[in-house]
Structure 1
């Protein structure tokens, strides 16, 4: 896929230094085809989307493409944002649905991690060098035991500090469903924590 922004980490050069536009102004400029506004928007959302998608998929190789697909929608359909939610809610909703579709297309089962295997791997950092990045944080393992919808609720609530109302819009479900998913996710995480030496 063609990258829209060559390097999301490079500083943005602007003729108006230190001018900070709010997201609504940026989105309006993006709708007018302003690539500098898009680059600013991209840079602001890239780290947040990276963390969210990585926690959802546990597939580092898929994250970059999913970020690109999400922000391509922002570039192409900024005019379709209807102000019924926060811009961040709209963007994370796009990312969530793109991520779910990608996960459905993959050959992996939803719960493709085995807790027994993790317990053995945690004690042996050389057992699976490809996944050493996960071995450093037991929460990655715990979150991987959750179905994607529960994982998304935890991620959006605790790591992105979104209220249940916004999470419900992102996940396209009633707020009570979000609360139920949070309840079940917390129970599962507690069971996982009880089985680990933390």
Structure 2
């Protein structure tokens, strides 16, 4: 079966064929869960808020006008749902084993890290980032969202997103460099 773009499925759902929404859930469930997990820092809450985000998206699908990518719209719903939840609860747990790191991590220019260890180091470095910085990295590097799309998702200005991404890159390089030095000293 030929895969269609998001708009095809959105139109089907808007026209009363709700079963087509399952395609959207299948396509975006991992990233929606990853955003929720990082913001909420609790697996059970993240699962609940990811589900809640999809429910909100489904109920509000008629208001999606297509002025931005559907993923941007969905991530904004997820981010706002999770931020609202953090205002209700204050949990500080994270299970980084559940964060999915894909091959696109190489875009961070990790040439100094042996290929077989990159995922391990990137996960460990990401774990050390605050939730807002992690979300920016996740959206930009792993979900290929543009600065403007991230701006719409997070509510930050585009210039603020650029500055924060620059600072986070520098911070990640420092974290990774420190981790590599620690491992080198442990070997020696």
- TM-score bucket (shorter structure): 0.7 to 0.9
Query: Match for 1:148 among 131, 139, 148?
Result: 131
Mapping of 1:109-128 within 5 angstroms?
A: none
2-structure distance, mates of 1:81, 1:145: 35
Aligned pairs for 1:69-88 (under 5 A) are 69-88=52-71
In structure 2, the gaps of 5 or more residues are 99-118, 184-188
Give TM-score, length-normalised by structure 2: 0.73
Q: CA deviation at 1:87?
A: 0.7
Residue number in structure 1 paired with 2:97: 133
| Greater share of helix | 2
Structure 1 residue 132 displacement after superposition: 8.3
Determine the structure 1 residue equivalent to 2:91.
108
Paired residue for 1:30, among 13, 17, 24? Answer: 13
1:158 and 1:80, CA in 2 relative to 1: closer, same or farther beyond 3 A? same
Q: CA deviation at 1:181?
A: 1.0
Cα pair distance change 1:186/1:20, threshold 3 Å: closer
Task: Check conservation: 2:40, 2:91, Cα contact below 8 A.
Answer: no
- Write out aligned runs for 1:50-89 (5 A): 50-89=33-72
Residue of structure 2 in register with 1:4 after alignment: none
Which runs of no fewer than 5 residues in structure 1 stay unpaired?
1-17, 114-130
The alignment yields a C-alpha RMSD, in angstroms, of 2.5
Q: 1:177 aligns with which of 154, 160, 164?
A: 160
Offset of 1:74 from its aligned partner? 1.6
User: TM-score, normalising length from structure 1?
Assistant: 0.70
